[in-house]
Amino acid sequence: MSTAELPGAEPAADAAVPLQPQAETPFGRFVQAYVESPLAVFAFVLLVLIVGAAIAAPWLAPQNPYDLAQVSVMDSRLPPGAVSMDGYTFWLGTDGAGRDLWSAILYGLRISLTVGALSGMAALLIGMVVGLFAAYVGGRTENVLMRVVDLQLSIPAVLIALILLAVLGKGLDKIIIALIVAQWAYYARTVRSSALVERRKEYVEAAICLGLSRGRIIFRHILPNCLAPLIVVGTVQTASAIALEATLSFLGVGLPPTEPSLGLLIANGFNYMLSGRYWIAFFPGIALLLTICAINLVGDRLRDVLNPRLAR
The nearer residue to other proteins, 221 or 277, going by C-beta atoms, is 277
Q: How far apart are CA 231 and CA 216, in angstroms?
A: 21
Helices (H) and strands (E) in the chain, counts: 12, 2
SS (H, E, C) 85-100: CCCCEECCCECCCCCE
Is 80 an interacting residue with respect to other proteins (CB under 8 A)? no
Q: Please, are residues 41 and 34 in contact by the beta-carbon 8 Å criterion?
A: yes
| Residue 44 touches other proteins, criterion: CB under 8 A | no
Nearer to other proteins, 26 or 303 (CB): 303
Cβ neighbours of residue 180 closer than 8 Å, sequence gap 6 or more: 119, 122, 123, 126
**Spatial separation of the C-alpha atoms in residues 239 and 289, rounded to whole Å:** 10
Quote helix, strand, coil % in the chain, to nearest 5: 70, 0, 30
Helix H or strand E segment including 82 = strand 82-83
Span 234-253, contacts to other proteins by CB under 8 A: 239, 243, 246-247, 250-253
Of 166 and 206, the one with the shorter C-beta distance to other proteins is: 166
Asked if 74 is part of the footprint of other proteins (rule: CB under 8 A), the reply reads no
Question: Coil, strand, or helix at residue 226?
Answer: helix
Q: Of these, 60, 163, 196, 212, which contacts other proteins (CB under 8 A)?
A: 163
Closer by beta carbon to other proteins, 76 or else 296: 296
Residue pair 253/175 in contact (Cβ under 8 Å)? The answer is: no
Q: Which of 104, 145, 181, 292 binds other proteins (CB under 8 A)?
A: 292
Q: How far is the CB of 288 from other proteins (least distance, A)?
A: 6
What is the amino acid identity at position 198? E
Minimal distance in Å, beta carbon 22 to other proteins?
35
Q: Which C-beta is closer to other proteins: that of 3 or that of 143? A: 143
What number of other Cβ atoms are within 10 A of residue 201's Cβ?
13
285 binds other proteins (CB under 8 A): yes
Q: Which of 54, 71, 165, 188 binds other proteins (CB under 8 A)?
A: 165
- Rule CB under 8 A: say whether 278 interacts with other proteins: yes
Q: Could you list the residues that contact other proteins (CB under 8 A)?
A: 143, 151, 154-156, 158-159, 162-163, 165-169, 239, 243, 246-247, 250-253, 266, 269-270, 273-274, 276, 278, 281-282, 285, 288-289, 292-293, 296
